[in-house]
Amino acid sequence: MACLDSSYSWKILIQTARRLSNDKIGAQGNFVYKLRICPKGRLVYSNTKEINVLSVCEKTKWKYWWLKDYIIEITKYEYWNLSEHQDSPPGIDIPLSKEPSPIVTYGITLYNKSWDEVSFNSNLEPGEVPEWYPHEIVDEEKTGGINSLMKDINNFIEIIQKNVKIY
């Protein structure tokens, strides 16, 4: 979801243990229709007869550019175990803003858009031509080669080690 009046957007991913109908009026549609975001920015949901939420993971991401071509993505993961609400009557709102998340973790990712092309080649069928070639990513003249890449990665690791407290 996106709100053009806000500097944030929302993406809701729902995973189920069993396949649900994609009928908008069915169980899944009924559940999704009742989802909303409270004024504090947290999810509010209600269980239905067919769907009982067991856990929620909320991810908040911040993206930054680093050096020439790198993107650093810092992700905050907040987990709720909601099994205590499993027996709540259908239709009762359950706001995640009631209690802070009991489990909070962070992740840091360093990537380069050109690396996406590497993953595309992993799905090639026999006889298909790749869309990129290794020299395009680690070409000595264009990118500084593998030594430059390793230097950038080591610099990134040093910055993390200096600035992030390890528990």
In tens, the pLDDT along 43-57 reads 899 988 888 888 999
Which H or E run contains 151? helix 145-163
What pLDDT does 75 receive?
A: 93
In the three-class reduction of DSSP (H, G, I as helix; E, B as strand; rest coil), residue 150 is classed as helix
pLDDT < 70 stretches in the chain: 1-10, 18, 20-25, 133-143, 167
pLDDT at 8 (0 to 100)? 65
Query: How many beta carbons lie within 10 A of that of residue 103, not counting itself?
Result: 10
CA 129 to chain centre: 31
Give the full edge-to-edge strand order of the sheet including 94-95: 36-37, 43-45, 94-95
* DSSP state string for 57-124: EEEEEEEEEETTTEEEEEEEEEEEE-GGGTTSPTT--EEGGGS--SEEEEEEEEEEHHHHHHHHHTTP
Q: In DSSP terms, which residues pair with 94 in a beta bridge?
A: 45
What are the sequence ranges of the domains in the chain? 132-166
**pLDDT of amino acid 140:** 65
